[in-house]
């Protein structure tokens, strides 16, 4: 590539980092790093009513958590290209908008929103399907302008689209794409009457001034691209190359909507549940991109090496939650003892008081679950059943723990263990053997009532481990209750 590759991730700080945004950021990052380029983190904050406090920082931090490290951002500016927040760049947009007006490619429009609405209604009534701005202000006389100004109207600036113009570009994902100016919905606004630019205008000025060479973004922006290219043409600038990634769909094939409560969609939610950033990164990597071989687990370094934008998928990508859990469980298994301890402690702390235990003891308990965890918070339920069991509800199980035989088993078992210094796998075996011989009860009838009495559930980790977690005294308490 002739120029240095420069790509950007340009979120609007209207919320936390979403799975779709994370995917755009990741693919831009891989693209940059594959070709020794830079990733710019630019904040598109012009929709001021929708900005939320902390949105920018949380998105930035979540990116870093995923291992996506921008080369430039409001926090690491390059003098040549900053500032990196659009609301700090208003003068630049104004300058180029005025240039467009001067050269006849844009014009001031004084129509109020009520007037626009009224005329749109009229178009609809007349059977117009694709309504568009009727160009009332395209050739205002000095007199008309004066009159509007005296009325106190504040104008917006609209682009003046060329008639019968076609715009074609070569999309990195879908190949040749063509739009006619009719598809653009009429002379669109580039600067609103409050002086703030619209997305389609600001993005062109920024991408140009920031020397952006490639734009990878979601399919929802496909229809914006010809509008942006029209502006590049008018300003005599070379447009970057564009690639539009396909939509992400849920398991029913429906487009993932931020309101879909069946799928967690924000990075912060995954982090809280105990997903590892490496797993999320790996999962997102395969959400719309396929490697040449069947490899499934990638480190960032491997992903950069393997990344090939021509393998971005052209059909929707399915968000497969089971695959995500599978991936996460793989990464959990790879954690060292130290890492695992760090990772699992906050989840365990939700059910037990860890302050009384040494790290070694905590690790001992936590390790019992390591193999089976899909994500960190999955340790909570089984641990809870040991530490603070619920009441038994099933009639059958109640009958079992309350039977005369079971009561005898509890008594005999308590007698066996009460004088033991320490309960080990071996002496527990002996204890059971003794109970078995004296009462003639064996197998399931012997172990199940004890397990049930101790934890209220019939499944879980080995009994010896449960006893170790609870300690002898608590075991005796529960069995005598």
| Phi, psi angle pair for 355, to nearest 5° | -65, -20
State which residue, 185 or 389, has the beta carbon closest to ligand GLU.
Answer: 185
Smallest gap from Cβ 280 to ligand GLU, in A, equals 19
Give the H/E segment covering residue 302. Answer: helix 300-306
Q: How far is the CB of 40 from ligand GLU (least distance, A)?
A: 11
Distance in Å, CB of 267 to ligand GLU, minimum: 15
Does residue 107 sit in helix, strand or coil? strand
Which of 64, 95, 154, 258 is an active site residue? 258
Tokens of 363: 């690790």
437: left (phi over 0), alpha (psi -120 to 50) or beta: alpha
**Shortest Cβ distance from residue 10 to ligand GLU (Å)?**
4
CA angle 445, 450, 455 (to 5 degrees): 130
Nearest CB to ligand GLU, comparing residues 45 and 187: 45
* C-beta separation of 209 from 86 below 8 A: no
Instruction: Tell me how far, at minimum, the Cβ of 195 lies from ligand GLU, in Å.
Output: 19
Which stretch of DSSP H or E encloses residue 23?
A: helix 19-34
Tell me the C-alpha distance between 107 and 102, whole Å: 9
Q: Is 238 a catalytic residue?
A: no
Please say which residue, 101 or 235, places its beta carbon nearer to ligand GLU. Answer: 235
Pick 13 or 460: Cβ nearer ligand GLU? 13
**Spatial separation of the C-alpha atoms in residues 77 and 67, rounded to whole Å:** 19
Rounded Cα gap, residues 12 and 59, in angstroms: 9
CB of 81 to ligand GLU, least distance (A): 16
Of residues 55 and 374, the one with the C-beta less far from ligand GLU? 55
> What is the contact surface with ligand GLU in residues (CB under 6 A)?
10-12, 44, 203, 217, 221
Q: How far is the CB of 161 from ligand GLU (least distance, A)?
A: 20
Tell which residue, 223, 243, 254, has the closest CA to residue 307: 243
Residue 342 backbone dihedrals phi, psi, to 5 degrees: -60, -45
Residue whose CB is less far from ligand GLU, 11 or 37: 11
Element containing residue 334 per DSSP (H, E): none
Residues 114 and 251: their CA atoms lie apart, in Å, by 43
Q: Between 7 and 479, name the residue whose CB sits nearer to ligand GLU.
A: 7
Number of H helices, E strands in the chain: 20, 11
Beta carbon nearer to ligand GLU, 160 or 221: 221
Q: What token pair was written down for 229?
A: 């290219």
Distance CA 235, CA 106 (A): 11
Report the nearest approach of ligand GLU to the CB of residue 39 (Å): 12
Q: How far apart are CA 376 and CA 370, in angstroms?
A: 9
Place of tokens 């005025």: 98
Q: How near is the Cβ of 20 to ligand GLU at its closest, in Å?
A: 9
Whose tokens are 């100004």? That residue is 149
**Judged by CB, which is closer to ligand GLU: 119, or 174?**
174
Neighbours of 94 (CB within 10 A): 16
Report long-range pairs for 283-288 (Cβ below 8 Å, ≥24 apart).
Answer: 283/323, 283/324, 283/327, 284/19, 284/22, 284/23, 284/26, 284/66, 285/26, 285/30, 287/19, 287/23, 287/248, 287/317, 287/319, 288/23, 288/27, 288/245, 288/246, 288/248, 288/312, 288/313, 288/317
For the chain, how big is the Rg over CA atoms in Å?
32
Catalytic residues: 258
């Amino acid at each position: 590539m002739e120029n240095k590759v420069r790509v950007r991730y340009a979120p609007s700080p209207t919320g936390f980092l979403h799975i779709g945004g994370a995917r755009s950021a990741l693919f831009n990052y891989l693209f940059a790093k594959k070709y020794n380029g830079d990733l710019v983190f630019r904040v598109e904050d012009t929709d001021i009513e929708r900005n939320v406090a902390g949105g920018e920082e949380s998105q930035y931090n979540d990116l870093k958590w995923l291992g996506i490290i921008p080369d430039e951002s409001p926090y690491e500016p390059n003098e040549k290209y900053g500032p990196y927040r659009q609301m700090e760049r208003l003068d630049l947009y104004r300058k180029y908008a005025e240039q467009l007006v001067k050269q006849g490619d844009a014009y001031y429009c004084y129509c109020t929103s009520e007037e626009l609405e009224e005329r749109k209604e009229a178009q609809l009534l007349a059977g117009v399907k694709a309504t568009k701005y009727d160009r009332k202000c395209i050739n205002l006389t000095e007199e008309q302008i004066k009159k509007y100004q005296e009325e106190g109207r504040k104008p917006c600036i609209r682009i003046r689209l060329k008639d019968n113009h076609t715009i074609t570009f070569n999309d990195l994902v879908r190949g040749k794409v063509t739009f006619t100016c009719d598809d653009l919905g009429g002379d669109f606004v580039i600067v609103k009457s409050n002086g703030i630019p619209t997305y389609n205008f600001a993005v062109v000025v920024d991408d140009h001034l920031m020397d952006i060479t490639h734009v990878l973004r979601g399919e929802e922006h496909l229809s914006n691209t010809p509008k942006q290219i029209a502006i590049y043409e008018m300003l005599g600038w070379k447009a970057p190359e564009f690639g539009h990634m396909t939509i992400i769909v849920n398991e029913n094939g429906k487009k993932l909507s931020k309101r879909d409560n069946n799928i967690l969609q924000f990075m912060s939610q995954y982090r809280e549940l105990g997903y590892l950033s490496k797993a999320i990164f790996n999962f997102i990597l395969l959400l719309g991109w396929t490697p040449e071989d069947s490899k499934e687990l990638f480190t960032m370094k491997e992903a950069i090496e393997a990344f090939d934008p021509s393998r971005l998928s052209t059909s929707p990508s399915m968000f497969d939650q089971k695959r995500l859990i599978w991936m996460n469980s793989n990464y959990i298994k790879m954690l060292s003892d130290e890492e695992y301890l760090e990772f699992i402690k906050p989840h365990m702390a939700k059910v037990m008081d860890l302050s009384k235990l040494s790290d070694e003891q905590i690790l001992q308990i936590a390790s019992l679950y390591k193999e089976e965890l899909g994500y960190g918070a999955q340790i909570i339920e089984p641990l809870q059943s040991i530490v603070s069991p619920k009441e038994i509800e099933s009639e059958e199980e109640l009958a079992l723990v309350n039977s005369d035989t079971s009561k005898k088993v509890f008594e005999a078992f308590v007698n066996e263990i009460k004088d033991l210094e320490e309960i080990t796998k071996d002496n527990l075996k002996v204890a059971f053997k003794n109970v078995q011989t004296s009462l003639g009860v064996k197998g399931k009838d012997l172990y199940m009532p004890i397990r049930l009495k101790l934890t209220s559930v019939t499944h879980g980790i080995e009994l010896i481990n449960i006893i170790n977690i609870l300690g002898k005294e608590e075991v005796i308490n529960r069995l005598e209750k």
